[in-house]
Amino acid sequence: MSGPLEGIRVLDFTRYQQGPCATVLLADMGAEVIKVEPRVNGEWGRQTERDETGFSAYFETYNRGKKSITLDIRTPEGRGVVERLVPRVDALVENFRPGYMDKVGLGYEAVRPLNPRLVYASASAFGSRGPMARRPGYDHIAQAVSGLMVEQSGGPDFDPAPALPGAADEISAMLFAFGIVSALFARERTGEGQHVEASLFGSMLAFQGRQIARFFRTGTQTYARWRRNALYTHYRTADGWVAIAAQDAKRWPALCRTLGRPELTDDPRFAGPWDRHHNAAELRAALDEAFAARTTAEWLSLLIAEDVPCAPVNDYRAILPGEDLAEQAEANGYLTTVDHPNIGPLRSTGLPLHLSGTPPAPVGYAPELGRHTEEVLLELGFGWDEIEGLKAREVI
């Protein structure tokens, strides 16, 4: 086998990041993903972050391992091609604004009779119901409206601070892919497909579930801006930064020994977890002073010897070949090299999952626009004259 989803076919109408990220997860796990793109310039992601050679890290990352066909689904002939494809696929995935697929005659109720086992999956900005359902939205909008930017910054008294660009898209994509696979699993039990929905807004609320539960309980959304726990943060060293995660009470004595401050262990201000919480500012000041005395490498050596969770605060140079972090990532397949037919060897992230019984094939590369159109149409029974006619009428 070449992955746990081998034999699953996905008809992919997604664009931008939320949807393509979800379907690339399915492709990575062995599903055959047929990406349907506009006829001329393809999906919008092909133009995003494109360099002078035509390479787009954005498109390559979220569309590797897929097939590409071009099709104008707004035309009756284009819709006819989709209707012939639907009985041959297991899932149809789209992230248009709610109502668009109904408008072009390819909504869930329209295609369900063609394949009752079909898992029809829709992703949107705000969900398909409610007063905001038809509004457009993207990653930055979801981070803003869900409260994440305020939570990231430390509370309403600080300027909003967005997370990594694409954070909402990718979190939503993971939940969306989870929903699709769950529906496929349910289909094996019931024999019936269903409609799966996910949204950026809903995903970001779920992502912040703990913080939102606390807000409902306390009515406040305020924390220290970037040091929310003195023992679960990062400190400046003599030549950089080191991160620690010593919030577990059993780590406290070991941390004090490592810092050369054993007296802190029994200091009444810091003796127990609640004491350390209530006197966090004083504790941070003490740790600031201690960590500034040695280099990052020295601290890592000492902390690791005491089994205190720690790490350097790296930039991406740490995953370059020859670096320790690259060796760790390579050993687990988290980084890989893809043999790209147009640009040669391409360094890429690999799969962060291991399956002992059904290991996925190595990750692939993103397809050229429309590379598989003729292949898919021939499989559907179209003749070459029909294919040339579709080209002439600008359907493909």
Residues 210 and 83: their CA atoms lie apart, in Å, by 43
Buried b (16+ CB within 10 A) or exposed e, 266-282: ebeebeeeeebeebbee
pLDDT in tens, 224-247: 556 678 999 999 999 999 999 999
Residues 239 and 274: their CA atoms lie apart, in Å, by 32
Alpha carbon 79 to chain centroid, angstroms = 30
**Which helix (H) or strand (E) is 268 found in, with range?**
none
In the chain, where does the domain assigned CATH 3.30.1540.10 lie?
232-313
What percent of the chain stands above pLDDT 90?
A: 80
In the chain, where does the domain assigned CATH 3.40.50.10540 lie?
9-207+366-392
* pLDDT band with cut points at 50, 70 and 90 for residue 374: very high
Which of 72, 159, 169, 307 is an active site residue?
169
CATH number of the domain at 9-207+366-392, out of 3.40.50.620, 3.40.50.10540, 3.30.559.10, 3.20.20.70? 3.40.50.10540
Which pLDDT does position 54 carry in this prediction?
Answer: 86
Beta bridge partners of 131: none
* DSSP code for 12: E
Which pLDDT does position 228 carry in this prediction?
Answer: 73
Residue with the two structure tokens 């799969």: 351
Most distant pair of Cα atoms in the chain: their distance: 86
* pLDDT band with cut points at 50, 70 and 90 for residue 121: very high
Which pLDDT does position 322 carry in this prediction?
Answer: 85
Whether residue 169 lies in the annotated active site = yes
CATH superfamily of the 232-313 domain: formyl-coa transferase, domain 3 (3.30.1540.10)
Residue 114 confidence (pLDDT) above 90: yes
Residue 1 confidence (pLDDT) above 70: no
Buried b (16+ CB within 10 A) or exposed e, 54-82: ebbebbbbbbbbbbbbbbbbeeebbbebb
Which pLDDT does position 342 carry in this prediction?
Answer: 86
